[in-house]
Chains A and B, each alone.
Chain A
């Protein structure tokens, strides 16, 4: 621990603890998952930074979406994201979730993930190497320090908008909304 961080720890222990203990749930879509085993095991050792993979979204606070997102997997991604306890952070991996990447004109691939769930940061590359993943993590630290990693707050505030986007894709969805959506109905009336 850095000695000049002690005042930060005393000021806001919850925030600092969030920075140094990422329990990650990986969503194994596409080729990005290939980069995860070396980064969490012996070669690059993500546990140095307190990053460990966990088995269920309930225990996690960081959500890595590793690669392109097809229309079908997006449903599972939304459910996983909604099950994670707040505060939670999302990092999308590679160029596919940003703008579709090499699947930009595919009929069943989502071209921008940010329309459906809030994304706190992107790691660009095709694929990003584990070093890039760690740089992404340090950027996420900075964002948390500046209170800019507020995806979960955006999701709560603009839930009507996000839910509308999701429903536009799937029609009627088979699980109830996470936050109340009465506001939208009133606006429609």
Chain B
């Protein structure tokens, strides 16, 4: 276990996640032909929320949001950020289990608030999770079968040797499937059904105020980071860039530059997600489930079959 990575990687995830939230607000504003807020606006929002008094609705209300935040931080520890990872055990199976801890914690505290809007939001949240976990599992199975390992770190290392997974013809189909479910994982617009502000008063977080809201914003930032980082790690080769850094191998610069390349790749994926977010209206929950269980699942299944036959 790497002590430095244990401290640094959640910090990087938090800061970049908050910047991503700000960037997404700025980009949407520019698409609307507005000037938009400064990129560091979410930091100000979090500071404001922490300085406000919050109202609690019982112990589970407090416990749920903390469970959600810690669950997501633990998730970040398993992610290789460039050449930086804290834990190398468990692998993708562990990752899939822990991924449900974030929504689960928020559902716990939303249920404790006993607001009808929260209840609707929670049911939508779990239905959506159920909908995108099926294609996600198929995609991860395809990747694990192809690389013959369940370890995220080994997957990234093998890609460093052979090039990005998405550029090899076997894994391009699961890559496309992952890209189709990415907005659902991030909660972006076609699948923005959990926290629909206009419909159900922002759903599970309807009763969150003050410090609870601040913790939720941090969790949301981390969740955004994890969703994109998983895609970059599995399909875009983590912090490697066509062997660009081979000449620097062995120096400390490689570690730093790999993190930067990793973040750049994440920004690229985020941009494409935001363009989709700006164009599409919101699905209803049954439309979202129909879509997620039809096209991405079908494509992921075809990809899995191809990979399984070749191996």
Contact: A56 with B51, CB < 8 Å? no
Interface residues of A in 3-39 (CB under 8 A from B): 13-15, 17-18, 20-21, 23
Does B268 interact with chain A (Cβ within 8 Å)? no
A17-B32 contact, Cβ under 8 Å, with A56-B202, A58-B55, A85-B53 = no
A85-B33 contact, Cβ under 8 Å, with A17-B44, A59-B202 = no
Contact: B48 with A14, CB < 8 Å? yes
A-B contact count (CB 8 A): 88
Contact: A41 with B32, CB < 8 Å? yes
How far apart are B165's CB and chain A's nearest CB, in angstroms?
38
Q: Which residues of B contact A15 (CB under 8 A)?
A: 51
Does B70 interact with chain A (Cβ within 8 Å)? no
Q: Which residues of B contact A56 (CB under 8 A)?
A: 117, 201-202, 206-207
How far apart are B184's CB and chain A's nearest CB, in angstroms?
21
| CB contact between B35 and one of A14, A45, A83 (< 8 Å): that residue | A45
Interface string of B7-25 (1 = CB under 8 A from A): 0000000000000000001
Contact: A61 with B34, CB < 8 Å? no
Q: Which residues of A contact B36 (CB under 8 A)?
A: 45, 47-48
| CB contact between B201 and one of A1, A20, A48, A55 (< 8 Å): that residue | A55
| CB contact between B52 and one of A45, A54, A57, A87 (< 8 Å): that residue | A87
Contact: B47 with A13, CB < 8 Å? yes
Does B41 interact with chain A (Cβ within 8 Å)? yes
B200 nearest in chain A by CB position:
A55
How far apart are B42's CB and chain A's nearest CB, in angstroms?
9
Does A157 interact with chain B (Cβ within 8 Å)? no
CA distance A47 to B25 in the complex (A): 9
Chain B: interface residue total (CB-CB under 8 A): 32
Q: Which residues of A contact B52 (CB under 8 A)?
A: 61, 85-87
A85-B51 contact, Cβ under 8 Å, with A45-B29, A47-B34 = no
Does B305 interact with chain A (Cβ within 8 Å)? no
Does B286 interact with chain A (Cβ within 8 Å)? no
Q: Which residues of B contact A13 (CB under 8 A)?
A: 47, 51
How far apart are B32's CB and chain A's nearest CB, in angstroms?
5
CA distance A45 to B25 in the complex (A): 12
CA distance A58 to B36 in the complex (A): 24
Contact: B33 with A18, CB < 8 Å? no
Q: Which residues of B contact A47 (CB under 8 A)?
A: 25, 29, 34, 36-37
| CB contact between B34 and one of A18, A23, A45, A84 (< 8 Å): that residue | A45
Does B38 interact with chain A (Cβ within 8 Å)? yes
How far apart are B205's CB and chain A's nearest CB, in angstroms?
7
**Among listed B89-97, B208-216, B237-245, B296-304, interface-contacting one:** B208-216
A58-B209 contact, Cβ under 8 Å, with A17-B47, A21-B45, A21-B48 = yes
Interface residues of A in 83-111 (CB under 8 A from B): 83-87
CA distance A183 to B291 in the complex (A): 61
B213 nearest in chain A by CB position:
A59
Task: Specify which of B36, B37, B206 lies most central, judged by the most chain A CB atoms within 10 Å of its CB.
Answer: B37
Contact: B48 with A86, CB < 8 Å? no
B216 nearest in chain A by CB position:
A59
Binding site for B on A (CB under 8 A): 1, 13-15, 17-18, 20-21, 23, 41-42, 45, 47-50, 52, 54-61, 83-87
- Name 30 interchain pairs, CB-CB below 8 A, sorted by A: A15-B51, A17-B48, A17-B51, A18-B48, A20-B41, A21-B44, A21-B48, A23-B45, A41-B32, A42-B33, A47-B29, A48-B34, A48-B35, A50-B38, A50-B44, A54-B202, A55-B197, A55-B198, A55-B201, A56-B207, A57-B209, A59-B205, A59-B209, A59-B213, A61-B48, A83-B55, A85-B210, A86-B52, A86-B53, A87-B51
